[in-house]
A and B are shown apart, each in its own frame.
Chain A
Amino acid sequence: MGGNWKSATIKPEGLHSLIGKLRDEAYRVVGPTMRDDAIVYDDIAGLDDLPKGWTDDQEAGRYALARRSDDAYFGYNVGPHSWKQFLFPPVETMWHAQRDEDGAMTCSAPSRPKEKFAFVGVRACEIHAIAIQDRVFREGPFADNAYASRRQDAFIIAVNCGQAGATCFCSSMGTGPRADGGFDLALTELLEGGDHRFLVEIGSEAGAAIMEAVPHAPASSEQVEAAAAIVEETANRMGRSLETDGLKELLQGNLDHPRWNDVADRCLTCGNCTMVCPTCFCTTVEDHSDLENRTAERVRKWDSCFTLDFSYIHGGSVRTTTHSRYRQWMTHKLANWIDQFGTSGCVGCGRCITWCPTGIDLTEEAAAIRAAPSKADAQ
Chain B
Amino acid sequence: MPAPVQSSDPFVPEIYRVGAVRRELADVVTIEIEPESGGRPDFLPGQFNMLYAFGIGEAAISISDETKHGGGFVHTIREVGAVSRALAAMEVGASLGLRGPFGTAWPVAEAEGSDVVVVAGGLGLAPLRPAIEALLARRERYGQLAILVGCRTPEAILYRHELEQWRQRLDIDIEVTVDHASTDWHGNVGVVPSLIRRVAFDPDDTLAYVCGPEVMMRFTASALHEAGVATDKVYLSMERNMKCAVGLCGHCQFGPSFVCKDGPVMRFERISPIFAMREI
Smallest Cβ distance from A315 to chain B, in angstroms? Answer: 8
A321 at the interface (CB under 8 A from B): yes
Structural contact, B12 and A140, CB atoms closer than 8 A? no
- A293 to B14: give the CA distance in the assembly, Å: 19
Q: Which listed segment binds A: B66-74, B228-236, B240-248?
A: B240-248
User: Contact: B248 with A140, CB < 8 Å?
Assistant: yes
Which listed segment binds B: A21-29, A64-72, A99-107, A174-182?
Answer: A99-107
With contacts A282-B249, A284-B249, A379-B273 taken as known, whether A336 is within 8 angstroms of B255 at the C-beta atoms is yes
Partner of B244, one of A143, A283, A314: A283
Does B15 sit at the interface, judged by CB under 8 A?
A: yes
Q: Considering the chains assembled together, what is the distance between the CA atoms of A189 and B166 in angstroms?
A: 76
A327 to nearest B CB, angstroms? 8
Q: Closest chain B residue to A105 by CB distance?
A: B95
In the A-B complex, list the 5 residue pairs whose CB atoms are closest, starting with the nearest: A289-B55, A282-B250, A324-B279, A339-B256, A142-B246
Bound state CA distance, A283 and B248, in angstroms?
A: 8
Cα A379 to Cα B272 in complex, Å, equals 9
Instruction: Let me know if B251 is at the binding interface, CB within 8 A.
Output: yes
B261 part of interface (Cβ distance < 8 Å): yes
Given pairs A287-B58, A311-B251, 10 additional interface contacts (CB within 8 A): A99-B95, A105-B95, A106-B15, A141-B2, A142-B247, A283-B250, A285-B244, A313-B239, A318-B279, A331-B255
At the interface, yes or no: B4 with Cβ under 8 Å from chain A?
Answer: yes
Of A108, A145, A283, A287, the residue contacting B249 (CB under 8 A) is: A283
Q: Does A84 contact B (CB under 8 A)?
A: no
Chain A residues, CB < 8 A from B26: none
A97-B97, A288-B55, A289-B54 known; A305 vs B250 contact (CB < 8 Å) = yes
Instruction: Report whether B246 and A95 are in contact in the complex, using a CB–CB cutoff of 8 Å.
Output: no
CB distance from A138 to the nearest CB of B (A): 11
B1 at the interface (CB under 8 A from A): no
Chain A, range 274-329, C-beta contacts under 8 Å to B:
281-285, 287-289, 293, 296, 298, 300, 303, 305, 310-315, 318-321, 324, 328
A300 proximity list for chain B (CB < 8 A): 11
Residues of B within 8 A of A (CB): 2, 4, 6, 8-15, 36, 54-58, 78, 80-81, 93-97, 239-241, 243-244, 246-251, 253, 255-256, 258, 261, 273-274, 277-280
Question: Which A residues between 77 and 96 are near B, CB-CB below 8 angstroms?
Answer: 94-95
Q: Which residues of A contact B11 (CB under 8 A)?
A: 94-95, 109, 144, 298, 300
Q: How far is the CA of A232 from the CA of B251 in the complex (A)?
A: 40
In the bound complex, do residue A141 and residue B279 qualify as a contact, i.e. CB atoms below 8 Å apart?
no
> By CB atoms of chain B within 10 A, which of A281, A283, A315 has the most?
A283
- Nearest-Cβ distance from residue B270 to partner chain A, whole angstroms: 11
Complex Cα distance, B115 from A173, in Å, reads 49
Q: Are B55 and A318 in contact (CB under 8 A)?
A: no
Say yes or no: A284 contacts B12, CB within 8 Å. Answer: no
Q: B94 contacts which chain A residues (CB < 8 A)?
A: 103
- Cβ–Cβ < 8 Å partners of A314 in chain B: 78, 80-81
A311 near B241 (CB under 8 angstroms)? yes
CA distance in complex: A108, B8 (Å)? 12
When C-beta atoms are compared, the residue in chain B nearest to A104 turns out to be B95
Q: Which of A284, A319, A336 contacts B256 (CB 8 A)?
A: A336
Of residues B4, B13, B250, which shows the largest number of chain A Cβ atoms within 10 Å of its Cβ?
A: B250
Are the CB atoms of A105 and B12 closer together than 8 Å?
Answer: no
Q: Which residue of B lies closest to A332 (CB)?
A: B253
Contact A320 B251 (CB under 8 A): no
Q: How many residues of A contact B (CB 8 A)?
A: 56
A131-178 interface with B by 8 A CB criterion: 136-137, 140-145
**Residue in B54, B240, B243 whose CB lies within 8 Å of A105:** B54
Q: Which of B54, B80, B277 has the most CB of A within 10 A?
A: B54
A47 to B55, CA, bound (A): 47
Q: Is the CB of B249 within 8 A of A141?
A: no
Q: Is A236 an interface residue (CB 8 A)?
A: no
Q: Give the residues in chain B near A97, CB-CB below 8 Å.
A: 13, 54-55, 97
A144 to chain B, nearest CB (A): 6
Q: Which residues of B contact A107 (CB under 8 A)?
A: 12-15, 97
Known contacts A105-B97, A285-B57: A320-B279 contact under CB 8 Å: yes
Task: Verify A281–B55 contact, CB threshold 8 A.
Answer: no
Is the Cβ of A94 less than 8 Å from the Cβ of B12?
Answer: yes
Q: Which residues of B contact A336 (CB under 8 A)?
A: 253, 255-256
**B56 / chain A contacts, CB cutoff of 8 Å:** 287, 289
Structural contact, B240 and A318, CB atoms closer than 8 A: yes
> Is there an interface contact between A142 and B95, defined as CB atoms closer than 8 Å?
no
Does A358 interact with chain B (Cβ within 8 Å)? no
How far is the CB of B242 from the nearest CB of chain A, in Å? 9
Is the CB–CB distance between A310 and B247 below 8 Å?
A: no
Contacts of B261 in A (CB 8 A): 140-142
Q: Are B12 and A318 in contact (CB under 8 A)?
A: no
Interface residue ranges of A26-60 to B (CB < 8 Å): none
A-B contacts, 11 listed (Cβ < 8 Å): A95-B12, A107-B14, A141-B261, A285-B58, A289-B55, A303-B249, A303-B251, A314-B80, A318-B279, A319-B279, A321-B279
In the bound complex, how far is the Cα of B8 from the Cα of A142, in angstroms? Answer: 10
Smallest Cβ-Cβ distance to B60: which chain A residue: A313
Instruction: Report the minimal beta-carbon distance from A148 to chain B, rounded to whole angstroms.
Output: 11
A233 interface hit (Cβ, 8 Å): no
Q: List residues of chain A with CB within 8 A of the CB of B95.
A: 99, 103-105
The reply to whether B250 and A303 form a contact with Cβ atoms under 8 Å apart is yes
Is A115's CB within 8 Å of the partner chain B?
A: no
> At the interface, yes or no: A209 with Cβ under 8 Å from chain B?
no
- Asked if residues B12 and A293 are in contact (CB atoms below 8 Å), the reply is no
Interchain nearest-CB distance for B95 vs A (Å): 4
Instruction: Tell which of B13, B55, B253, B277 touches A256, judged by Cβ atoms closer than 8 Å.
Output: B277
Complex alpha-carbon distance, A315 and B239, angstroms: 12
Closest chain-A Cβ to B105's Cβ sits at a distance in Å of: 15
- How distant is B264 from chain A, measured CB to nearest CB, in Å? 12
